Structure 1
Amino acid sequence: MKKLSAFMILVIVGVTLLIVKGGPIVDQLNPFIKEDIYYAVVDSDGEYEAKSNGFGRWNYKFKGYDESGKEQKIMMTSSKHLRIGAHLKIKSKGTYGMKWEEIQGDEIPAKAKEKVTIKHV
């Protein structure tokens, strides 16, 4: 009985840590996190991750802002290198960036536009 209780406590602690600290992979799979649209600007080159098959992915981290100006950290990958200064509309589920498209700066809602800036070029 003591072993079962200890195991159950360990499982509960593990699941709680995954939910709280899990990051984009957990956000992608978590059915309680809703999808939302965020706006961001590309302010760094990202990190290129080469694959053994010759193809690679670019990893990016953004601070995105929704229509009301609420901030969300977003991590996403792209097969394409993104241009510094490009304005993005990102469909995100928590910190997991699902889809993106490049947009013009005037397409960003006013409250998000106030906060979307380029840190450095």
Structure 2
Amino acid sequence: MTGSDTEPRQTAAEVQAEIDREQRQLAETLSELGEQARPANIARRQLTKAKDRGTRIFDEARALVLGGGAVRVESHLVEPEEGSIVLKGDDKVVTTYQSRGQLPPEAMILAAGVGTVIAVGVVAWAVRRRRK
């Protein structure tokens, strides 16, 4: 064995610097996880998801009723370039549309039937509630 095989690979200062780096990274990660786990942030994310789903369902229904040829599939904000200044309301939204074919008549009849059943149910519920 030569003398270089028994020498440490890192000096004490290098090891300490690496430990400090890892501790900072761990602290940042824990801070990010804590921020993500805040109930207000969780609620905000869930509300955004619900709004997106509701908007998509609304767009689908409107396209079905109006006979539109395209349906919105997804919308998302585009992150600004690093170093740019973004003013409120200047967010860029990218929306993806998908062309859809004509629905078969059976689907239209089914949709009309479901709509009728829901309307009758709501009217019956309102009448029953008024009588009490």
**TM-score bracket relative to the smaller structure:** under 0.3
Q: By percentage of residues, which structure has more helix?
A: 2
| Normalised TM-score (structure 1) | 0.27
Of structures 1 and 2, the one scoring higher in RCO (CA 8 A, sep 6+) is 1
Q: By percentage of residues, which structure has more strand?
A: 1
| Normalised TM-score (structure 2) | 0.26
Structure whose alpha-carbon radius of gyration is higher: 2
